[in-house]
């Protein structure tokens, strides 16, 4: 198969591209290098497969690309590119979120209609649920985003449904729950906490730490994407959770055990847009995709910790 992967230099995208190339597929990757974190890190991801004979890379934003040319010969699209972050999506930043997360998705869907694309997988988020009244979160629950970021992810998800219902485009949306693992974005809690454990620096914790998250190892997330591209029901929405729902305080304890370091915690007030609890009901994904996460939290943290140690610059190594 020939795949288009947007956000190909990002955390999840880089793992997906590696998996697809290893399976013998050809991949066109797009990334606009949004400046939400250092370009150098994204380029290091890209360097892992940039010279692969079955990989082509296009650097630009989806909003301004000639997508018909990019999609020429592409059979499957996995759309990961987005501007992430709940806390940074307020105020004047919303214009960028609307452009990167909603308008870009609409342009890609529109072009996919005329380019022979047989399956379009959209990477949505558990943020569409907001503070859910009932746990675990089910795909048929009422969506109540608690942040502008969640609003944009839900809007793009609705667009995917509309293109399926009105034009028959074979779309599948996956709602990711707190993906972690090697190459995780530096602003995400697991990466921040593990890096602080390595460097002996304090961490900032928002809220009382009793909020819960459903942590999903990146390889399990990639597995769900591959299965959705192969067998997901057209027009369907699936939760992708890791089955490791713990409090942030419990996460900190696990990180201390894995790293052998005691974390210094600077406790701050809760932030706007942060939800209290997330927990995925993955019944639908198990039934339709035969998907079940296989990486326990402790094992996933250990793998992320080893990656952080291996990638440390000499001046950040603990003595």
DSSP code, position 35: T
Which member of 97, 122, 129, 149 is catalytic? 149
Q: How far apart are CA 49 and CA 43, in angstroms?
A: 11
Among candidates 123, 132, 149, which has minimal Cα distance to 240? 123
Half-sphere exposure of residue 37, counting CA atoms within 13 Å on the CB side? 17
Q: What angle do CA 88, 90, 96 make, to 5 degrees?
A: 75
User: How many other CB atoms are found less than 10 A from the CB of residue 106?
Assistant: 17
Environment class of 152 (CB within 10 Å of its CB; exposed 0-12, middle 13-18, buried 19+) = buried
Catalytic residue list contains 103: no
47, 51, 193, 248, 315 from 197: Cα distances, Å: 27, 34, 6, 15, 15
Active-site annotation, residues: 149
């Amino acid at each position: 198969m020939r795949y288009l992967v947007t956000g190909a230099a990002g955390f999840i995208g880089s793992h997906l591209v590696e998996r697809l190339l290893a399976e013998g597929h050809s991949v066109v990757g797009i990334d606009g290098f949004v400046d939400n974190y250092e370009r150098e890190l994204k380029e290091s991801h890209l360097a892992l497969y940039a010279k692969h004979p079955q990989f082509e890379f296009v650097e630009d934003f989806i909003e301004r690309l000639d997508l018909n040319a990019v999609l020429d010969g592409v059979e499957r699209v996995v759309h990961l590119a987005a501007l992430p972050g709940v806390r940074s999506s307020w105020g004047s930043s919303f214009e960028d979120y609307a452009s990167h997360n909603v308008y870009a998705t609409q342009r890609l869907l529109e072009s996919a209609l005329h380019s022979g694309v047989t399956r379009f997988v959209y990477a949505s988020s558990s943020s569409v649920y907001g503070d859910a009244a009932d746990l675990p979160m089910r795909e048929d629950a009422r969506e109540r985003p608690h942040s502008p970021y969640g609003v944009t992810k839900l809007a793009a998800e609705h667009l995917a449904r509309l293109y399926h219902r009105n034009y028959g485009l074979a779309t599948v949306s996956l709602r990711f729950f707190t993906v972690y693992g090697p190459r995780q974005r530096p602003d995400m809690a697991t990466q921040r906490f593990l890096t602080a454990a390595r460097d002996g620096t304090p961490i900032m914790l928002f809220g009382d730490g009793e909020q819960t998250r459903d942590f999903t190892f990146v390889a399990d997330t990639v597995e769900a994407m591959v299965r959705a591209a192969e067998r997901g029901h057209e027009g369907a929405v699936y939760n992708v959770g890791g089955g490791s729902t713990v409090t942030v305080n419990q996460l900190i304890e696990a990180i201390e055990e894995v790293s052998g370091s005691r974390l210094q915690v600077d406790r701050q007030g809760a932030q706007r847009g942060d939800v209290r609890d997330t927990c995925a009901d993955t019944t639908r994904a198990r039934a339709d995709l035969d998907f079940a996460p296989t990486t326990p939290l402790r094992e996933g943290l250990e793998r992320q910790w080893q990656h952080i140690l291996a990638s440390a610059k000499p001046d950040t190594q603990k003595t």
